[in-house]
Amino acid sequence: MAKPLEYNATLKERIDLTDALSIFRVQPDQQPEKSPWFTPGQYCVLGMNNATQPELGSVRRSMSIASAPEENGPTEFYIRFVSKPESENPLTHLLWKLKNGDRMYMRAVA
């Protein structure tokens, strides 16, 4: 079982484009010092602890950043809901339960 994640970001906004495609705008607790802090095509790791089934532990997945590097504010991700997941603990099923203001995990990846 994966170690529980320490949440370090907040879901600021979720915009549902369809039933299976949403824009997630995530604000890290600490803004990176360097600006811009990422380059186009870079990924971040998003993660959640499974509160309803803690025995499954936490889950993390790499997600491509959709924001422009020069934009300040929340980091934007376009995320598609996985209707037929290959794992028992799919991240998208946990993300779709979030409401604005809920906490989550986010880590920049080169």
Rounded to the nearest 5 percent, the helix, strand and coil shares of the chain are: 5, 40, 55
What is the distance between the alpha carbons of residues 76 and 26, in angstroms, rounded to a whole number?
Answer: 6
Structural domain includes residue 13: yes
Whether 73 has a pLDDT exceeding 70, the answer reads yes
Query: What CA–CA distance (Å, rounded) separates 85 from 81?
Result: 9
Is the residue at 4 inside a domain?
no
| Confidence grade of residue 110 (pLDDT, cut at 50, 70, 90) | low
Q: Give domain status of residue 27, yes or no.
A: yes
2 is a domain residue: no
pLDDT exceeds cutoff 80 at 8: yes
When the pLDDT of each residue in the chain is averaged and rounded to a whole number, the result is 93
Mean pLDDT of the 85-94 span: 93
Domain count, the chain: 1
Higher per-residue confidence, 14 vs 1: 14
Range of 55's domain?
Answer: 9-109
3-state secondary structure of 93: helix
Averaged pLDDT, 69-79: 93
Domain contains 71: yes
Residue 101 lies in a domain: yes
Mean pLDDT of 67-79: 93
In a domain, 44, yes or no: yes
22-52 pLDDT tens trace: 999 999 999 888 888 888 889 999 999 999 9
Residue with structure tokens 């993660």?
A: 47
CATH number of the domain at 69, please. 2.40.30.10
- Residue 3 belongs to a domain: no
- Closest listed residue to residue 96, CA positions, set 2, 20, 5: 20
Exposure class string for 90-109: b at 16+ Cβ within 10 A, else e: bbbbbbbebeeeeebbbeee
